[in-house]
Amino acid sequence: MLGARDTAYRVHGGTGERSLGDLTIEPNGQSEPTYCECCGNRSQTIWGYIYDGNLPRAAYFVQWTLESLDHFPNLDFLIGTWGDDSISDRQLISWVFDPTQGNSGGFTVVDSQTRPAASSSLCAEALTRERVLADSGLFTRSKQMLDAVWSNDPRIEELRRRASA
């Protein structure tokens, strides 16, 4: 699943941990399009990996519905150990993006339990919004990952444009 940079790494939890270094993203797959039950517009999900140096720190998923401004895009992050199947510690943190609030203010942490990734075998624990906000270290790392994906994944150019329009 991971490429040549595949390395086991454990993300330590807790407040006060150092923030991450320079993050890079590795775009990976995308879903077949589906059609939203309420509006009929096309929905899609893309995913990839986030690295801190050579260390894989998270997988990410972005899901959005084309043309439906009132459906806020979802950005989900499975943060923890990647590359060592004997360790199952990955925590799901979920954000939504409100394009009317713009690129800086539009991101909000939400409960992750109802997200598709929460039922994946890759997810050890789906975190609530409350849980993430109570842990400033976790919140900061999650926000850094969000920024890395939002700024760098070319597949979400449509979303960035919408936000700055």
Interface with Zn ion by CB under 5 A: which residues? 36, 38-39
Min dist CB 42 to Zn ion, Å, is 10
Contact call for residues 63 and 43 (beta carbons, < 8 A) = yes
Strand bridging mode 34-35 / 42-52: antiparallel
Q: Which is nearer to Zn ion, 24 or 41 (CB)?
A: 41
Contact call for residues 46 and 29 (beta carbons, < 8 A) = yes
**123-128 LR contacts (CB < 8 Å, sep 24+):** 123/78, 123/90, 123/91, 123/92, 124/80, 124/88, 124/89, 124/90, 124/91, 125/90, 125/91, 125/92, 126/91, 126/92, 127/91, 127/92, 127/93
Min dist CB 71 to Zn ion, Å, is 5
Q: Which two tokens stand for residue 57?
A: 């720190």
Q: Which is nearer to Zn ion, 36 or 87 (CB)?
A: 36
Q: Which is nearer to Zn ion, 2 or 36 (CB)?
A: 36
Min dist CB 97 to Zn ion, Å, is 16
Q: Which is nearer to Zn ion, 4 or 38 (CB)?
A: 38
Min dist CB 100 to Zn ion, Å, is 17
Q: Which is nearer to Zn ion, 67 or 84 (CB)?
A: 67
In order of 8, 13, 78, 110, 144, the CA distances from 136 in angstroms are 24, 10, 17, 15, 12
Min dist CB 34 to Zn ion, Å, is 11
